[in-house]
Amino acid sequence: MHRRRAHIDIPTVYFLVAGILLMFMVFLESVLERLPFNAAMLYLPIGWLLGPSGSGLIRIDLQAHAEVLTVVTRVALLLSLFTVGLKLRVAFRGEGSKLWRLPLRLGVVSMLITVPLLALCISVLFGLPFAVAMLLSAILAPTDPVLASDVQIQNVDDPDQLRFSLSGEGGLNDGSAYPFVILALILLGVTDEIAQVDHFGLFVAWGVAAGIGCGALCGWAMSRTVLFARQRFGLALGMEEFMAIGIIMLSYGVAELVHGIGFLSVFAAGLAMRQVESANSGNKPAGELIAAAQGSGKTAAAVHPEQAPAYLTETVLGFNQQLEHFAEFFMVLLMGILLSESGLSGEGVLLAGLLFFVVRPIAVALGLAGSGIESSHRWLIAWFGIRGVGSLYYLCFALQFWHNKLNARVARDVLTVLALSIVAHGISSAPLMHIYWRKRMQSERRLRQEK
């Protein structure tokens, strides 16, 4: 008599694999801190090994699961966009306005240059129809807020010009790429499902204005309401984690409900919350206020007239950064699994070189022309145009509506570019930022001595 073999379902395998990998990262974290590359470079090959080209444990059909993957990647992107907004503690007026011009130039002007220039190059060099080239270009255009943590703002009280520019750009251009993706889909014949061709200009203008407006209003109103309840009545204490997720979901939902661009809304909500904190803190350093709050105790700090805004915002930021680590882990694993399914593309390698070494530097140079920024900073900004979750989101989003024999080719090219970006920028980010920081310290020391 044969014994019946126990059946283990696929979700159980996924839980086991995820649990093993997460525990593995707990013990590996201290080792990664000493290595000259970021964690994403480790996640990517693990994902590849889990996929069909490796162990075959996990198989994901990108086209068949495009709708689900769009939701998953959107959540990861929203978490990161809100986090970036919370990090930018610079006023829009006065001296701060000069610093804000840099990410605006990069997120708007450079984006307007990148998409058509890259699309033209793709169409001419690779023989793709211009509409397909436009879609591929729009998908690859945004820089990534999830994978660019190594080059983003580290200290909210020290708005370093280079880090601030890259952070602000990453927050803006995931939203500014949206109209180009929609335009490309319209050129490909997808119209009624996403936008009306005759009103595309109004669609874009309203989307940007409504997205920023809804996000700013939600971030400002929720922050003011919670602070008022705490300081006046001693209510709404704790549960900053709920507030973080609540503002993200509320700002995105309201913007999408009125046909605004939800990514811009969530970024604007993070900015608004930080602006409320900065204004109510009397522009004192957040680190100083948090240090005082730690001595006061959580409850006392949460209702303190001066410490409460900084305590609330920094607590929300800390929670979001923890979620961002999870998002990075699972999103890069997903990229590795999808790449294992599709395989590397020789065309994608050439496309990555074109984007990293030709189109991106040209777009940054033109976008920052006349800004007065140092040439060394301009070159670093040009190099750190990291591609990642934003591009993966737009790829999944587009595949929901566009069904064509070129789908597999476009997906393979995009995944190849993302993998090369993770490797190239992962290797170079730590040493280049170390050199940059050392030179900055030397320059500041020299200025102090001259005074």
pLDDT at position 288 is: 84
Min mean pLDDT across 260-264, 268-272, 324-328 is at 324-328
Give CA–CA dist 288/291, Å, rounded: 5
Q: Which residue has the tokens 């046909």?
A: 259
Rounded to whole angstroms, what are the CA distances from 302 to 271, 277, 279, 289?
20, 13, 17, 12
For 121, phi and psi rounded to 5 degrees? Answer: -65, -45
How open is the CA angle 49-147-44, to the nearest 5 degrees?
Answer: 5
Please compute the mean of the pLDDT values over residues 219-245 and round it to a whole number.
89
pLDDT at position 241 is: 87
pLDDT at position 1 is: 45
pLDDT at position 36 is: 67
Average pLDDT over the chain reads 88
- Residues near 100 by Cβ (< 8 Å), separated by ≥ 6? 90, 92, 168
- What is the pLDDT confidence band of residue 260, given thresholds at 50, 70 and 90? very high
Q: Please answer whether residues 371 and 106 qualify as being in contact, where contact means their C-beta atoms are separated by less than 8 angstroms.
A: no
pTM equals 0.92
Give CA–CA dist 171/390, Å, rounded: 10
pLDDT at position 257 is: 94
Give CA–CA dist 296/301, Å, rounded: 6
Please compute the mean of the pLDDT values over residues 221-230 and round it to a whole number.
93
pLDDT at position 239 is: 83
